[in-house]
Amino acid sequence: MAGEGFEPPKSMTADLQSAPFGRSGNLPSKAADDLAETTIAARCPLRKSVHRGTDHATTYPALVTTTTTPPAARWGLPLGLGAFLLWGAMPLYFPLLEPAGAVEIIAHRVVWSLVFCVALLAVTRTLTSFTAVFRRPRTLGVLTVAAVLIVANWVTYVYAVLSEHVLDAALGYYINPLVTVLLGVVALRERLRPAQWVAIGFGAAAVVVISTGVGGLPWISLALAFSFGAYSLTKNRVGRTVGALPSLAVETTVATPFALAYLAWLTATGASTFSQEGVAHALLLVSAGVVTGVPLLLFGAAARRLPLSVVGMLQYLTPTLQFLVGLLLFGEHMPPARWVGFGLVWVALVILTADGARAARATRMAAVAAGATAAGRVD
């Protein structure tokens, strides 16, 4: 998952309900926040948000009811499906890049993603949104941390695919929403609803069951979930000030010198596969930039057209497809303990999703009621 902005930054628990899995490692979660602002502005006459202990009252236009769907909105679902299906199909792509190892693949992915992003920013004449970040030290610092986290996530994911641990990767992105909620408690001191605590309990039980059944912690799953959860938390700090495409460009700019140094070392030692495995292999490595950027753009377009609830449900397509690829196409072993563990995680996600939908509905109803009250006072 990975469009695009938070502002004001939502709580991590609220953001969780919409944050997609980027599961090759892209985080498009900011588009969902953009969508949340647009949706609330269109549907709620009055909204009061609280961030870091400060009340920010924002007044929106009166409630408008319409029975027609704008033509552009009809593309939301196909665009969203395209993004999440592409992320879910990533386990089929990375084996094509062998004999390159996980670190070499990610080094190329960083470099060519930067090329793709800068080219697209130039074509759309939005390069200033990219260069402006380098004049804001705080934002650049936050995105530097994000770059470290996303590269760690990418390397772990590709290693999982190449070492036949796709099911562990799928589990990692299934439990990511639970980890995101937990990080909200630890880092943002959020107070969880009882149902959220129950969901986290089921997730923890799943880790214990799988660890006991397979004889060790599912470290790949935990590494993916926590690296991506921390990435989400870090990107939350940037707010609406940086869109997803400029953000990815900045993150890859930060990582590119290290990627180039590693690729140069591989070339000097004769271990690079880029120039030794033929033109087709080299082109596949170059395509990593497009493979990274296209789902991000599709999601950004979809998130601006779809209701937040639909985005929240679509996000589960990615780990589900990864799960099916690992189980049915790659034939990875699925012992009983792992089935039980996955089952516990699925129960946790059902609880979390239902609770999020109920809370969102209550918030909307309260906003509409507040707007009606305010309108009555004006009359």
Handedness of CA 25, 29, 31, 35 (dihedral sign): positive
Average pLDDT over residues 16-35: 41
Among 41-45, 135-139, 197-201, 211-215, the least confident range? 41-45
Helix-helix angle 166-188:137-162, to 10 degrees: 150
Question: Which pLDDT value is given to residue 149?
Answer: 95
Average pLDDT over residues 124-131: 93
Question: Which pLDDT value is given to residue 373?
Answer: 76
Question: Which pLDDT value is given to residue 33?
Answer: 43
**Which alpha helices (DSSP H) does the chain contain, by range?**
12-16, 29-43, 76-88, 90-93, 102-123, 127-131, 137-162, 166-188, 194-214, 219-236, 244-268, 279-286, 288-303, 308-314, 317-324, 336-378
Instruction: State the pTM of this model.
Output: 0.77
Residues 6+ apart with CB under 8 A from 124: none
Q: How confident is the model at residue 5 (pLDDT cuts 50, 70, 90)?
A: very low
Q: Residue 64 has which token pair?
A: 């408008």
Question: Which pLDDT value is given to residue 326?
Answer: 96
Q: How confident is the model at residue 254 (pLDDT cuts 50, 70, 90)?
A: very high
Question: Which pLDDT value is given to residue 252?
Answer: 95
Nearest CA among 369, 335, 124 for reference residue 209 = 335
User: Taking a C-beta distance cutoff of 8 angstroms, is the pair 327, 333 a contact?
Assistant: no
Nearest CA among 182, 181, 251 for reference residue 27 = 251
The percent of residues above 70 in pLDDT, for the chain, comes to 78
Mean of per-residue pLDDT scores for the chain: 80
Q: What angle do CA 44, 50, 53 make, to 5 degrees?
A: 170
User: Taking a C-beta distance cutoff of 8 angstroms, is the pair 83, 271 a contact?
Assistant: no
299 residue type, one letter: F
Q: How confident is the model at residue 379 (pLDDT cuts 50, 70, 90)?
A: low
User: Taking a C-beta distance cutoff of 8 angstroms, is the pair 10, 36 a contact?
Assistant: yes
Distance CA 57, CA 15 (A): 20
Residue 113 has pLDDT above 90, yes or no: yes
Q: What angle do CA 9, 13, 16 make, to 5 degrees?
A: 85
Which of 6-10, 251-255, 353-357 shows the highest mean pLDDT?
Answer: 251-255
Residue 73 has pLDDT above 70, yes or no: no
Question: Could you tell me which residue, 193 or 161, shows the higher pLDDT?
Answer: 161
Question: Which pLDDT value is given to residue 3?
Answer: 36
Question: Which pLDDT value is given to residue 7?
Answer: 33
| Residue pLDDT, tens place only, 299-355 | 878 877 887 667 778 888 999 999 999 999 999 999 999 999 999 999 999 998 888
Distance CA 29, CA 252 (A): 17
Question: Could you tell me which residue, 63 or 218, shows the higher pLDDT?
Answer: 218
Average pLDDT over residues 362-376: 78
Average pLDDT over residues 59-84: 64
Question: Which pLDDT value is given to residue 191?
Answer: 84
End-to-end CA distance of the chain: 46
Residue 98 DSSP symbol: T
Nearest CA among 173, 243, 182 for reference residue 29 = 243
| Residue pLDDT, tens place only, 168-178 | 999 999 998 88
